[in-house]
A and B are shown apart, each in its own frame.
Chain A
Amino acid sequence: MKLPDNHSEEEESFFYAVKGANVGLWDWKLDADTLYWSNSFKDIMGLKYDEIKPSLIEFADRLHPDDNSAVTEALDRCLNQGKIYDIEYRLKHAKGHYIWIHAKGTLFKDEHGKKTRISGTVEDISDKKKSQDELKESQELINLINDNMPDALFVKDEDLRIVRANKLFINMYPKDKQNKVIGYTTLEDYKEEDVIEFTKLDRIAFEYGSSEAQEKITFPNGDVKTLFTKKVRFEDSKGEKFILGLCRDITNIKDIEKEREELISKLTNSNAELANFAFICSHDLQEPLRMIRSFSGKIKEKFGDVIEADPNGKIYLKFITDSAENAQNLITDILSYSDINNDLKPKEDINLDSLLMTIKTNFEEQDDTISVDYAEMPVIKAHKTQIFQILNNIIGNGVKYRRSDQPSEIKIEVKNLYKHWQFKISDNGIGIDKKHIDKIFKIFKRLHHKDQYKGTGIGLSICKKAVENHNGKIWVESKLGQGSDFYFTIEK
């Protein structure tokens, strides 16, 4: 835009006013049907000053097709009804994209009342439109979040009226009341004790900026829910205070927690009963068994000659004493199995070198074809009785299930892992059939006949329990006839 060379003072002011306002001017002369475009209008459209003819067709060509009818109608109203022409439309910029224009115009008449021209201004409002669109999009996103979030949301004003809420919140009211939520406090729809609680939190949030709580509320639709609610104060542009409330439904979590607690307490009880049961068994069952053994001994002593005269008699008597002995062994082992769970002694530093020396001596003294060897052992922090039971049982098994054709050799090694000690106890015994390997840690499970190898089938279950008490694992690698490698880990 340029100022003509011979300009008046008024022309100069006009020039700068238009330039400063960043508006374009247009003037549609009705008689001549010409459209004047000011140079500032051409600037807005990115056109060179000689690039456009003063014609309405040039305008129509550049108008966005979707805005055509709106512009035509607005011009028509201006022309025929004398209304102010005020409209937003899109025009094609010289670079090919559309720009948003806000146009204003007025109909002018001559002294005879004849309509002569419509003239006015244009303003580029693309930037304004863009931010309006962005605002709309972000509002839509907020609505989408509100309606789909798993939490109920509401906004209350200082009179505790709900001014905004998402669907989830509204749905906590019965259908016929849902249109009377926004704009109301709805306090009368809740139980009095609930109202006291949640309005207290409302007030704390208004006063201190935020509040949060777990609350159990009976909702107007009858649902009883446990919520985790957070309330935050904010101000709108007018300085009015509101609180935003977010309520997360934790009813299920609470139920699960409750169930879990009940389960734990049941289990604790049944564990205690079990321990008690084992204790009763050990004492009350030992007694009659001892009687069976003592009196079958007496029978043998006094009437042995008579009974053993019959070949069956001798066998029967033996079954009685053997079975009673068996039962007593079972009771002792069940008791030590149940005791493992009730080991109340704290963990202590255990010098494994000296513990293993005791075990080694014990076994090697029984029989000089047994050797127990171990690498240098660490001092570990654990339950001593349990560690002794693990080592003694596994080493004992290695010796018990030995091959008759060679000396029994047991080796113990240790590996220092990140969080655990890993022990390996190897023997050169009879090994374990692959198909039975999964069963051997099960209580009472035995792989052999009692007349072959005595035992109750509890030893390895005790080891497993003890290892688990130390947050470890126990497993075995073995091949039939080729010895076994027992592994177990103990948490440091």
Chain B
Amino acid sequence: MSKIKLAEILLIEDNEGDIILTTEAFEEAKFRNILNVVKDGDTAIDYLMKRNGYENSITPDIILLDLNLPGTDGKEVLETIKNSDGLKRIPTVILTSSSADKDIIDTYNLYANCYITKPIDSEKFLDVIKQIKNFWVDIVCLPNDA
């Protein structure tokens, strides 16, 4: 991945507080990226499928997905992503407050790329965001179209 190109990150998250924390963590980490936020499962699917008003959305390089979403939940969104030929190669990071075994197993069974429990501490949260960026944006080799 070229260093010049800005990484497109899609954050699927309904909690306003978490949106602010994540946005600020990205800002603070001084990443060259574009962070788009959608607040529920149905909108996320519309955004990724480029429909219902999201015809001009850009396919993200990484998806950060919360599980507990109003209406269509995170697992259903993940299933949609991983069942879609056009989307399934996008690294999808589960970023959630749940640390329940069931959620971890369920999402890996649905081919989540990794599962992270949101740290409560804001400094650690910043650290996690930095590491996600380091790993998925800088270290990992991804197919060109991803």
Contact = CB atoms under 8 A, between A and B. Distances in A.
Interface of A: 315, 319, 323, 433, 435-436, 444-451
A446 B14 CA distance: 11
A160 to B, nearest CB: 60
A319 B20 contact: yes
Contacts of A319: 16-17, 20
B40 A449 contact: yes
Which secondary structure characterizes the binding site on chain B? Answer: loop
Nearest to A452: B70
Contacts of A315: 20
Which secondary structure characterizes the binding site on chain A? Answer: loop
B20 A448 contact: no
Contacts of A449: 14, 39-40, 70
Contact of B16 (A435, A447, A448, A451): A451
B59 interface: no
Contacts, number: 24
Contacts of A436: 71-72
Given A319-B17, A319-B20, A323-B17, A448 B72 contact: no
B89 to A, nearest CB: 26
A448 B71 CA distance: 6
A377 B39 CA distance: 43
B1 to A, nearest CB: 32
Nearest to A323: B17
**B interface, size bucket:** 10 to 19
B146 to A, nearest CB: 29
Nearest to B24: A312
Interface centre among A445, A449, A450 (most CB of B within 10 A): A449
Interface string B59-97: 000000000101111000000000000000000000000
Given A436-B71, A436-B72, A447-B71, 16 more contacts: A315-B20, A319-B16, A319-B17, A319-B20, A323-B17, A433-B71, A435-B72, A445-B73, A446-B71, A447-B70, A448-B70, A448-B71, A449-B14, A449-B40, A449-B70, A450-B14
A476 B2 CA distance: 53
Contacts of A433: 71
Contacts of B72: 435-436
Interface string B22-61: 0000000000000000011000000000000000000000
Contacts of B16: 319, 450-451
A285 to B, nearest CB: 15
Contacts of B20: 315, 319
A433 B68 CA distance: 18
A315 B24 CA distance: 13
Contacts of B17: 319, 323
| In the complex, the 8 A-B pairs of residues with the closest C-beta atoms, listed nearest first | A447-B71, A319-B17, A446-B70, A448-B70, A447-B70, A449-B70, A436-B71, A449-B14
A299 B99 CA distance: 33
A195 B40 CA distance: 73
7 contacts: A319-B16, A319-B20, A323-B17, A435-B72, A446-B71, A448-B70, A449-B70
Contacts of B70: 446-449
A447 B20 CA distance: 22
A315 to B, nearest CB: 7
B14 to A, nearest CB: 6
A319 B16 CA distance: 8
